[in-house]
Amino acid sequence: MSKNLMETEETNRLTREEEEEDDEDSREAWTEEENEEDGDENDEDLEFLCLFCDFKYSSCDALFDHCRLTHFFDFNGIRKDLGLDFYGSFKLINYVRSQVADNRCWSCGVCCQSKQDLQSHLHPSVNTKDVKLLLDDDKYLNPFMREDSLLYSFDGGEEDEDECNTSFEKEEIVKDFGSVCIDDDDTAEETELNAKTYNKDKKTVMACPNGHLSLASSSKIITENGMDYGENARSVESDPKDKQSRVCIADVVEKDIKKINDSYFGSYSSFGIHRDMISDKIRTDAYRQALLKNHSLLNGAVVMDVGCGTGILSLFAAQAGASRVISIEASEKMATVATQIAKDNGLWRSKTDSEGNKSCTGVIEVVNCMVEDLDKSIQIQPHSVDILVSEWMGYCLLYESMLSSVLFARDRWLKPGGAILPDTATIDLWKVISLQLCSDMHWTWFVAGFGKGGTSLPFWENVYGFNMSYIGKEVVEDAAKFPIVDIINHHDLVTNAAVLQSFDLATMKPDEVDFTATAELEAKNDTLDHKATTCFGLVLWFETGFTSRFCKEMPTVLSTSPYTTKTHWSQTILTFREPISVASSKFTAEGSAAVGTDACPASKILLRISIAHATQHRCIDISLETAGVGSDGRKRSWPAQMFNLT
């Protein structure tokens, strides 16, 4: 009987195990089905396609927040400004989609070469009333995109507003918006993308090519490179509908900027970079002459050196008789190096020296920080510096975005009437020589057109006797996509040089760093003899001046012109997508040929160039709009080009 009982129990046990396995299999199958259904539901949730890029969103509100933050398109704001009803708003969506499909800016009408160029070009609307006139066309009542669910969902009801108001009330208990993350997954995902801020015309602007969030507003004050974004953040704070989309953006921006700054300053830990800069005699001799040959300016002065590197400029200032030199360097390694160099040369100012040690002979004190954080590192009175010196110039002058830091230091610590070195810049050497002794000069960019000799075409046309020009043409086409930093021989310039923009460092404002300017180029008469030649693109260069405004004994010029000895800055080259044939106005055009061709060369090239902070911190974006004017007055425009110097 015991045996039967044992057999019965064993049978029951096996039966239970089989049933449990079946249940487990059923649960797993059920879970898989649920996951598949959830995945399908998630895909279905993302039903609203962005007006400008390929991003999809589960709600109209999330999509419009994305368009406003990323593409400068404030749908609700425009509806309110123009007083659009449902049908007007319906037309607006179709109008924007139709313009984007043609790579055309919905606001200003500029036609771009590609979708990527359009993403980079998008900007806040200047006059939306012009757009309203276009919306009078009933063709925009026809859906531009088939099955566009946005057209029938954008007019949200009161229920949505109540939900938004509830979320805003929750946020009111949070005092520091910079430490809070947004619950909305779509918005949070965007804010994790590479962010970059810049201030233009005292308004916070967002520039986001490729759908990347590039600039944000926040109630938290952000000061970076001398730019104060708090004012713009506070102006947004008055609109509660903006709060949800800006809650954690400040932290994202600051973290991204810190990461890029760490990389940027870390790159200057390489001694090879400093050797290249110090070995650049044009650069170093200009600073040395300005500091050592102007005794009345330097003797007994308090000098601040922003971005001192090895400390070479600080050493010049100390040698020239400065009573105190505050050398600021954000790279920890280079700050240590500069300190040791000052010690090795008997010019280091220790803390005990600065506290009144009468036996002090050193004047240089090195501070490891960004200039914006100097107050946290040392005690220094505002407007107590006599001379501000810095070698801040980058490729195309503004690359590295260090100018804003110099202007921050100027406004914070330079005495009224104090000297800033250099105080001016110009790009054309022969014009600088005639102007450098004047009192007030300006930072000025010049631009000129270059010919075939400025490209790689001549090299590929004869490679050991073989014609490889096919490669050369492709190289030139690729060059039109990116700015190139290289040396251009002045013999290869085929147009005159023209002023692009002028700044005066003693008086300019930080928000003037980004600019848009126009210029007009004409063929060089001394080389053409009324014959046509081809302009393949533009070359930009700069010159800086230590003028007689401050350097009364010995004014000095630092030139990166093609007409002078080359420097480590070289020149910046922007290549046209389509070369433009140019000739003097005396050239006789053939028939009705297109302007810019060999049959009808342009007598003038009209340029509109914008240079601004790029989406990536410390980089710059350059937009180029080009038009040609024939000798008969006819005009031809080419699609806008976008360049990123990174």
Residue 364 belongs to domain with CATH number: 3.40.50.150
500-514 average pLDDT score = 85
Least confident interval from 25-39, 53-67, 481-495, 572-586: 25-39
Q: How many CB atoms lie within 10 A of CB 337?
A: 20
Q: What local confidence, expressed as pLDDT, does residue 230 receive?
A: 40
Q: Which of the listed residues 133, 152, 171 is the one where a domain comes to its end?
A: 152
Tell me which of 201-215, 233-247, 330-344 is least confident: 201-215
Look at residue 492 and tell me if it is in a domain: yes
pLDDT level of residue 160 (50, 70, 90 thresholds): very low
Higher-confidence residue of 91 and 166: namely 91
Report CA 236 to chain centroid distance, whole Å.
Answer: 22
Task: Tell me if 53 sits within 8 A of 68, measured CB to CB.
Answer: no
Does the structure show a pLDDT above 80 at 576?
Answer: yes
Q: What is the pLDDT of residue 62?
A: 86
Q: What is the pLDDT of residue 237?
A: 42
Nearest alpha carbon to residue 145 among 46, 52, 44, 27: 52
| Average of per-residue pLDDT across 102-111 | 86
* Residues 614 and 479 grouped into a single domain: yes
Query: Higher-confidence residue: 443 or 308?
Result: 308
Grade residue 69 by pLDDT with cuts at 50, 70 and 90. Answer: confident
State the residue range of the domain holding 520.
426-432+442-645
Catalytic residue among 391, 522, 543, 625: 391
Mean pLDDT of 202-228: 33
The verdict on residue 93 lying in a domain is yes
Residue 343: the pLDDT is 95
CA 305 to centroid of chain Cα atoms: 25
Share of the chain above pLDDT 70, in %: 68
Is there a domain that residue 90 lies in? yes
If asked whether residues 482 and 349 sit together in one domain, one would say no
Q: Kindly state whether residues 497 and 556 are assigned to the same domain.
A: yes
Q: What is the mean pLDDT of residues 615-624?
A: 79
User: Do 562 and 571 touch, CB atoms closer than 8 A?
Assistant: yes
Examine residue 233 and state whether it is found in any structural domain, yes or no. no
Q: Tell me how far apart the alpha carbons of residues 405 and 264 are, in angstroms, rounded to a whole number.
A: 14
Write the CB contacts of 80 (distance below 8 Å, at least 6 apart in sequence). Answer: none
Distance from C-alpha of 117 to C-alpha of 7, rounded to nearest angstrom? 80
Position 169 scores a pLDDT of 37
Give rounded-to-5 percent helix, strand, coil for the chain. 40, 25, 35
Q: Of the candidates 621, 622, 613, 645, which has an alpha carbon nearest to the alpha carbon of residue 257?
A: 613
Residue 279 has pLDDT above 70, yes or no: yes
Return d(Cα 577, Cα 480) in angstroms, integer. Answer: 5
Tokens 């389509």 appear where?
Answer: 578
Query: Is 62 contained in some domain?
Result: yes
> What confidence category does residue 72 fall into, taking pLDDT thresholds of 50, 70 and 90?
confident
Highest mean pLDDT among 83-97, 207-221, 318-332, 585-599: 318-332
Quote the pLDDT of residue 34.
Answer: 44
Domain edge (last residue) among 358, 388, 421: 421
Residue 448 pLDDT > 80:
yes
* Residue 174 pLDDT class (50, 70, 90 cuts): very low
What is the distance between the alpha carbons of residues 473 and 464, in angstroms, rounded to a whole number? 18
Q: What is the CATH number of the domain that holds 502?
A: 2.70.160.11
The answer on pLDDT for 323 being more than 60 is yes
Burial class (CB in 10 A: 0-12, 13-18, 19+), 111: middle
pLDDT recorded at residue 232: 39
Question: How many distinct structural domains can be found in the chain?
Answer: 3
376 and 478 assigned to the same domain: no
- Residues 365, 488, single domain; the answer is no
Nearest-angstrom CA–CA distance, 36 and 13: 35
Q: Peptide bond preceding 562: is omega within 30 degrees of 0, i.e. cis?
A: no
Quick check: 356 pLDDT over 70? no
Clarify whether residues 395 and 539 are in a common domain: no
Please indicate whether residue 431 or residue 568 has the higher confidence score (pLDDT). 568
Q: In the structure, what pLDDT confidence band is assigned to residue 646 with cuts at 50, 70 and 90?
A: confident
Same domain, 290 and 324: yes
DSSP 220: S
Say whether both 390 and 486 belong to one domain.
Answer: no
489 and 612 both lie in a single domain? yes
Q: How many residues does the chain have?
A: 646
Q: What is the mean pLDDT of the chain?
A: 75
Active site residue 543: no
Residue 470 resides in a domain: yes
Task: Give the integer Cα–Cα distance in Å for 416 and 419.
Answer: 9
CB-CB neighbours of 231 under 10 Å: 12
| Cα distance between residue 555 and residue 426, in whole Å | 14
- Return the pLDDT at 38: 45
In a domain, 589, yes or no: yes
> Are both 452 and 367 inside the same structural domain?
no
Q: Which helix (H) or strand (E) holds 608?
A: strand 602-613
pTM, to two decimals: 0.58
Among the listed residues 439, 508, 481, the one whose alpha carbon sits nearest the alpha carbon of residue 573: 481
- Give, in degrees to the nearest 5, the angle at Cα 513 between 507 and 519: 100
Backbone angles phi, psi at 215, to 5 degrees: -155, 140
pLDDT band for position 361 (cuts 50, 70, 90): low
The residue with greater pLDDT, 336 or 351, is 336
Band (pLDDT 50/70/90 cuts) for residue 21 is: low
Predicted confidence (pLDDT) per residue in 386-440, tens digit? 999 999 888 777 766 688 899 999 999 999 999 999 998 664 423 323 333 333 3
Average pLDDT value for residue range 459-469:
93
Q: Give the per-residue pLDDT at 256.
A: 61
- Whether 314 contacts 334, CB under 8 Å: no
Higher pLDDT, 141 or 316: 316
Q: Compare 357 and 136 and report the one with higher pLDDT.
A: 136
Predicted local distance difference test score (pLDDT) of residue 66 = 87
The side-by-side arrangement of strands in the sheet containing 364-368 is 364-368, 324-329, 302-306, 385-389, 414-421
Active-site residue, 158 included: no
Residues 409, 518 within the same domain: no
Q: At what angle do helices 312-319 and 281-292 cross, to 10 degrees?
A: 30
Looking at per-residue confidence, does 533 or 197 come out higher?
533
Q: Of 129, 152, 175, which residue sits at a domain end? A: 152
Domain membership of residue 168 (yes or no) is: no
Residues 6+ apart with CB under 8 A from 434: none
143: how many CB neighbours lie within 10 A of its CB? 15
- Residue 217's pLDDT band (cuts 50, 70, 90): very low
Q: What percent of the chain shows pLDDT beyond 90?
A: 35
Q: How many CA atoms lie within 13 A of 109 on its CB side?
A: 5
User: In the predicted model, is pLDDT for residue 242 greater than 60?
Assistant: no
Tell whether 351 and 472 lie within a shared domain: no
Instruction: Output DSSP code: residue 240.
Output: G
| Residue 602 tokens, joined | 């342009």
Pairing between strand 302-306 and 385-389? Answer: parallel
382-396, 404-418, 531-545, 607-621, range with the lowest pLDDT:
607-621
Distance CA 149, CA 56 (A): 11
Taking only Cα atoms into account, the Rg of the chain, rounded to an integer number of angstroms, comes to: 31
Residue type, 24: E
